[in-house]
Amino acid sequence: MPQIDYIVKPGGQLSGEFRVPGDKSISHRSIMFGAIADGTTHVTGFLQGEDSLNTLRAFRAMGVEIDGPNNQGEVTIHGVGIDGLQAPAETIDLGNSGTSIRLMSGLLSGQSFDVVLSGDRSLSKRPMKRVTEPLALMGAKVDTDEGGCPPLRITGGAAIKGIDYAMPMASAQVKSCVLLAGMYAEGKTCVTEPATTRDHTERMLNAFGYPVGTTTGRMCIEGGGRLTACDIDVPADISSAAFFLVGASIAEKADITLQHVGINPTRTGIIDILKLMGASIELLNERVIGGEPVADIRVRSAALKGINVPENLVPLAIDEFPVLFVAAACAQGKTVITGAEELRVKESDRIQVMADGLQAIGVDAEATADGMIIQGGSIKGGRVHSRDDHRIAMAFTMAALRAESDIIIEDCENVNTSFPDFIGIANRAGIAVSVC
């Protein structure tokens, strides 16, 4: 793939109403659960980014007939039932998608066939022990490369047993992996999380008629059940909306409305943190669609102030921190982020990469073991490297709204994994970004 760099002109005034692409987390799960359900599942608003398309291709490779997606994000999945998946002819390549490989490792650990899950250069460096260790406790046979990284080699025919697992670190992907393995396990599987994480798996399994018992911080599932096909309407992804939530907050004279955004309470940390910083954010037309809360979000320019980010909000905004670091760089005073060590094992080490990039454009930013200390001030402009991380690239695009000169962002080709047509939407909203 040829290298793609962005050049972003300084300034810009965000305005208008628009919709960002569909939620990636929900898109992944709609394919996975629709594939193993009884009956035909219809999905609208499916995210046509590379990550979710890789999940779709993976289940086609395992014998599932899937129609679409068409231009409106409509997908039809002809489910094969809980035990109907077939052995793929070759290794399943999941590209850059950590969600795909971690959730599928659980779902596939109880199958009768062997399968190998691999990915691109970035995914091949991401730690998988956090899922392989609980799966091993359940009796699954999952091997990794040296260092605990992909590819994952899953041996079929294992006798999976339910466990009671206390997660050492809050992670929706680990929780989901164990729960999905629990569908194929003998007995009950329970997961206790140390802090609240996104609950799309629990919500969608319940929507497919597979009950997940939930009490505060604890989820349980019984093995041996079945899923029944249903319709899924995928809302706009709040992780993609986050770039414009910050962009409109820091730009001058901005006033935008983001349409049909998912506001699942396990995902709204970005809104809560920005409001603590003084952002002007309104939720309009709130409703529930397909079990997921949705709203239109109006955002206007605001004078942000530095804060100590509450640690209980960190897991609820873990994917949004790259752009939150940009908000902190534009705020008056000091912002301190702690308890975010999970950021070091994302598509890149997001703490170090963002600190390096912010320093390169003149921001006083200090990386710490589990977060960052940022002294708000001016952004000068310059050249930064995304380290092949889509969220880093889009975060620095927003930084240009307050920059004194151009910002050039290297290695932006992975933006398409989560946000197709990012440049088009950004330009229509008022940001002058182009490929150079």
Place of tokens 């014998």: 63
Q: Are 189 and 182 in contact (CB under 8 A)?
A: yes
Phi, psi (rounded to 5 degrees) for 238: -65, -25
Q: Of 51, 319, 389, 411, which residue is the catalytic one? A: 319
Question: Can you say whether residue 387 is alpha, beta or left, with left for phi > 0 and alpha for psi between -120 and 50 degrees?
Answer: left
Query: Would you tell me how many other CB atoms lie within 10 Å of the CB of residue 159?
Result: 11
Residue pointed to by tokens 């992780």? 239
Helices and strands: H and E segment counts in the chain: 12, 23
Three state DSSP letters for 376-422: CCCECCEEEECCCCHHHHHHHHHHHHHECCCEEEECCHHHHHCCCCH
| Cβ-based neighbours of 309, under 8 Å, separated by 6 or more | 273, 276, 324, 335, 336, 337, 338, 371
DSSP state letters, 148-216: S-SPEEEETT---B--EEE-SS--HHHHHHHHHHHTTSBSEEEEE-SS----HHHHHHHHTT---EEET
Three-state SS for 231-269 is EEECCECHHHHHHHHHHHHHCCCCEEEEEEEECCCCCCH
- Looking at this protein, which amino acid is placed at residue 55? T
Largest Cα–Cα separation, the chain: 61
Q: Is 199 a catalytic residue?
A: no
Q: Cite the active site residues.
A: 319
